[in-house]
């Protein structure tokens, strides 16, 4: 921003009190403005909005695509299907092992009863006990196999989720309501990720339903201004708005020795344009 004082201001000279300025030079800025980048390196698949379009918060601006990522997603979904099949098999084997162990437990109890009634031999009882132990070991092995299958699927699911998050980043959306001030991409173009050294700006967006008027007050007048001071903002296009000083810097600019003031203005009809020059007139008798 050009911080040179306009001709309409009076400078103080050594030993002479400065005359209060009739107005303060100002610039009208968008309340927010952002450059939008891609999270991941990808190709531009389609563009939904262009320069000058008004968009809502979250509205889709462009779609990106990455063939390698899409291939990874297909591979991961196939692996998950195989993992689900492995879980189903291991669960069936575990249930079968449980049923077998239950039968061996009943057989062992029956063998014990026969042995106590002296209707069976000790060897038969020992054989029944051994069969029950084998069945219990098979239950433990089947459970371990099922647990391993579940763990493998959880790992695959976490990897798939990571890939899906990357895929969602390919949907470029507006961070807030505003107007597109720059579109620098074309379909089929390769765009670099924001983490790369040469990141590609996809869009620039500005919020202009609310504006920020920035003006600079010379140091001789700092004591005369305060937050809430009534002012009138006059744009170069002739628009006039009554407003209050919204905020002020706590220190002077070290180069111009002036204080930055900001005035918030509602602009629902977009009658004022961000980038316009303006004059800020303080209330009379301030």
Domains defined for the chain, CATH in brackets: 24-66+175-282 (2.40.30.170), 67-168 (1.10.287)
Residue range 237-274, pLDDT digits in tens: 999 999 999 999 989 999 999 999 999 999 999 999 99
Residue 113's pLDDT is: 86
Query: What's the rounded Cα separation, in Å, for the pair 124 and 227?
Result: 98
Q: Is the pLDDT of residue 15 over 50?
A: no
Residue range 42-95, pLDDT digits in tens: 999 999 999 999 999 999 999 999 999 999 999 999 999 999 999 999 999 999
Three-state secondary structure call for residue 1:
coil
- Please compute the mean of the pLDDT values over residues 1-9 and round it to a whole number: 40
Q: Which residue has the higher pLDDT, 78 or 9?
A: 78
How far from each other are the two terminal CA atoms of the chain, in whole angstroms? Answer: 27
- Residue 163 has phi, psi (to 5 degrees) of -65, -40
**For residue 174, which of 55, 5, 269 has the smallest C-alpha distance?**
55
**How does 84-111 read in b/e, with b if 16+ C-beta sit within 10 Å?**
eebbeebbebbeebbebbeebeebbeeb
Residue 21's pLDDT is: 66
**How does 114-139 read in b/e, with b if 16+ C-beta sit within 10 Å?**
ebeeeebeeeebeebeebbeebbebb
- Please compute the mean of the pLDDT values over residues 37-42 and round it to a whole number: 92
* 32 pLDDT tier (thresholds 50, 70, 90): very high
Angle made by CA atoms 246, 251, 256, in degrees to the nearest 5 = 100
DSSP summary character for residue 219: G
> Which run of H or of E encompasses 128?
helix 122-168
In percent, how much of the chain has pLDDT > 70? 91
């Amino acid at each position: 921003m050009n911080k040179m004082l306009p001709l309409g201001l009076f400078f103080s000279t050594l030993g002479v009190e400065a005359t209060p300025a009739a107005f303060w030079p100002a610039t009208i800025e968008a309340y927010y403005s952002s450059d939008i980048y891609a999270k991941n390196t990808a190709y531009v698949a389609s563009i939904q909005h262009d320069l000058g379009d008004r968009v809502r918060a979250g509205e889709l601006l462009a779609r990106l695509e990455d063939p390698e990522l899409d291939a990874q997603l297909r591979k991961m979904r196939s692996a998950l299907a195989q993992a689900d099949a492995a879980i189903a098999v291991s669960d069936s084997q575990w249930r079968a092992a449980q049923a077998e162990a239950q039968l061996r437990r009943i057989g062992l109890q029956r063998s014990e009863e026969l042995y106590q009634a002296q209707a069976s031999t000790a060897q038969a009882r020992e054989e029944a006990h051994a069969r029950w132990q084998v069945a219990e070991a098979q239950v433990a092995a089947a459970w371990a196999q099922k647990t391993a299958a579940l763990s493998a699927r959880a790992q695959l699911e976490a990897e798939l989720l990571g890939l899906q998050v990357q895929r969602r980043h390919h949907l470029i959306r507006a961070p807030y309501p505003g107007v597109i001030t720059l579109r620098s991409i074309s379909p089929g173009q390769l765009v670099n990720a924001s983490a790369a050294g040469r990141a590609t700006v996809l869009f620039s967006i500005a919020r202009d339903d609310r504006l920020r008027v920035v003006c600079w007050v010379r140091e001789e007048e700092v004591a005369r201004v305060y937050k809430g001071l009534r002012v009138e903002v006059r744009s170069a296009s002739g628009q006039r708005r009554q407003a209050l000083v919204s905020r002020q810097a706590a220190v002077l600019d070290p180069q111009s020795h002036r204080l930055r003031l900001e005035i918030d203005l509602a602009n629902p009809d977009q009658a004022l344009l961000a980038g316009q020059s303006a004059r800020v007139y303080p209330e009379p008798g301030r």
